[in-house]
């Protein structure tokens, strides 16, 4: 691919450099995301991701919760442009749109994290059931496991239901897209 066909968007206020292919181009011949677009430090399975998530809630570990969710770079390079049907054109976003969309998703997730820690933190719960309320959907660059519901039982036998956001899978790696439920 020629450099003239790439658009480099320096997102100074985001503190990252972003690389986009022009609208309508494919990330690769197989329709997979660009090699740079992958989930760093993702879990090797949904079950491992959920176990790590519940442990972070049990431990009230805000930093660990944040690590289990896509980063700004992952969202902007992979999730945002790859949220189209397989084979469809990937949209182009300008810097203001990128900042706005990430800001909304990240801000809501931060508040959701605080709510999860306040409601469920410190109870030493384990998962007894999991369900994806909106199913599983294949997008151009990832597979989304949409709107997770967990049934938990704590060490005193008390059951609770936790409704949280969606999970992305890219090349066998799993991370939460957000903790926002809808």
Task: State the average pLDDT over residues 43-60.
Answer: 97
Distance CA 44, CA 171 (A): 9
pLDDT tens figures, 61-85: 999 999 999 999 999 999 999 999 9
Label residue 134 by pLDDT band (50, 70, 90): very high
Q: Which position has the token pair 């005193």?
A: 156
Burial class of 1 by CB neighbour count within 10 A (0 to 12, 13 to 18, 19+): exposed
Label residue 100 by pLDDT band (50, 70, 90): very high
Q: Output the average pLDDT for the chain.
A: 83
What pLDDT does 78 receive? 93
Q: Is the pTM of this model over 0.85?
A: no
Task: State the average pLDDT over residues 110-133.
Answer: 94
pLDDT at 33 over 80: no
What pLDDT does 38 receive? 80
Q: Domains of the chain: which residue ranges? A: 3-176
Distance CA 102, CA 71 (A): 10
């Amino acid at each position: 691919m020629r450099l003239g066909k790439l658009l480099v968007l320096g997102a100074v206020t985001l503190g990252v450099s972003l690389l986009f292919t022009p609208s309508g181009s494919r990330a690769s011949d197989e329709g997979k995301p660009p090699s740079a677009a992958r989930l760093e430090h993702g879990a090797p399975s949904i079950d491992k991701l959920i176990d790590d998530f519940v442990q972070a809630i049990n431990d009230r570990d805000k930093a660990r919760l944040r690590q289990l969710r896509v980063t700004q770079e992952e969202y902007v390079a992979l999730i945002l442009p790859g949220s189209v049907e397989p084979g469809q054109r990937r949209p182009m976003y300008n810097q203001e749109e990128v900042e706005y969309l990430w800001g909304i998703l990240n801000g809501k997730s931060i508040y959701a994290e605080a709510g999860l820690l306040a409601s469920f933190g410190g109870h030493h719960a384990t998962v007894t059931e999991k369900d994806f309320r909106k199913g599983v959907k294949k997008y151009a660059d990832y597979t989304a496991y949409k709107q997770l519901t967990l049934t938990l039982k704590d060490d005193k036998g008390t059951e609770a239901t936790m409704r949280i956001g969606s999970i992305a899978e890219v090349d066998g790696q799993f991370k939460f897209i957000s903790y926002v439920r809808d």
